[in-house]
Chains A and B, each alone.
Chain A
Amino acid sequence: MRSRWSYVYFLFYLLLGIVLLFLNNDLSKAVITLMNVIIILVPLIGTVFGVMYYYNSREFTELLLAQPLKRSSIFLGQYFGVAVSLSMSLVIGLGLPFIFYGIFNSSAIWDFSLLLISGAFLTFIFTALAFVIALANENKIKGFGYAILLWLFMAVIYDGLFLMSLIYFEDYPLDKFSLATTMLNPVDLSRVLILLKLDISALLGYTGAVFQKFFGTSLGLIISTSMLILWVVIPTGIIYRMAKRKDF
């Protein structure tokens, strides 16, 4: 089940990469289009696959639990299995067409690798969150519902709320507030990171405009990368703790 779908996912990215390159004929433009796809699609696929995999392999998990294996290694193994295979599909699927197109000789190489790295981060983050949701909910339908809601919230609603709050509190200094809010959402954070790297302020929404100063510096880059790492580590820690306590 898992392997078949990760091939489909891989082929999808391969195709997407090829089509974009042929239509655009320009590497950095292709990277921008890709970014818009990745920012929305990667979290969605990560959540859906994570939840689906957990529920599908439940029986198998029960079989493994009766074997002399450590609980945490069963669950973390499953999580990393899903997350790594999804990120591999993303990185290889997109990487191949770009390599053939000659990304190595282009100035867009750094933008492109940043795109792939944040894509991989998003995969890990959302797969971990999906596992947390699935572990917390015995009921498949509920689990799926919460997972989709989480995605919708992070990818769409969060931005809307953010903008509304900016408009509402117009009269106050908002730099720090908006910085913090962006940091708290991995989707926004990766979007801002990539956009700033691409140096196309025209495309920046209000979300991004505030931070050009902050993220342009190496300190900003370090802080935002560590935020992304935190976003991976914390849910993974929660998986670890939940797996230790859960009854089967």
Chain B
Amino acid sequence: MQTRELKRLLDVLKDTDVSEMTLETGEYKLTVKRGSVATVAHVPAVQYAVPAAAAPAATEAAAPQQAPQAATPAARERLVDVVAPIVGTFYAAPSPDAPPFVRVGERVKPGTVLCIIEAMKLMNEIEAETAGVIKEVLVDNGQPVEYGQVLFRIEPD
């Protein structure tokens, strides 16, 4: 699913009183819960706009924040946060045309590359330190990230 399709879906849902829906296709299963999604652990004090030009054309971009496979707060406690170790620009894929390094639901192990953070024209690969399953991707492709910002949540094995 493309980011813009997802966004359209969420926009449509906004105008309804649907509080939960599940969509299942051959490729993925998406659950959306509205209204009481727990806030992320670390929200940047000011969310700055994504500089559109800087983003390599979002391929199968990371799911935006509103659409996690909404973990319940209890389930979330078990999740391991992957945070940005440096300030820079988040890239979900190695190049504009390539598929993302990881998608929600994928299994990772220590050393699996999760994303790239570009800082000062240097591409820094961010690797998983935990074996488990990606439960949430919290950042959009091309978005600036700050130190300590949560990028992914992994359900450890």
A binds B: no
Mark A residues whose CB is within 8 Å of B.
none
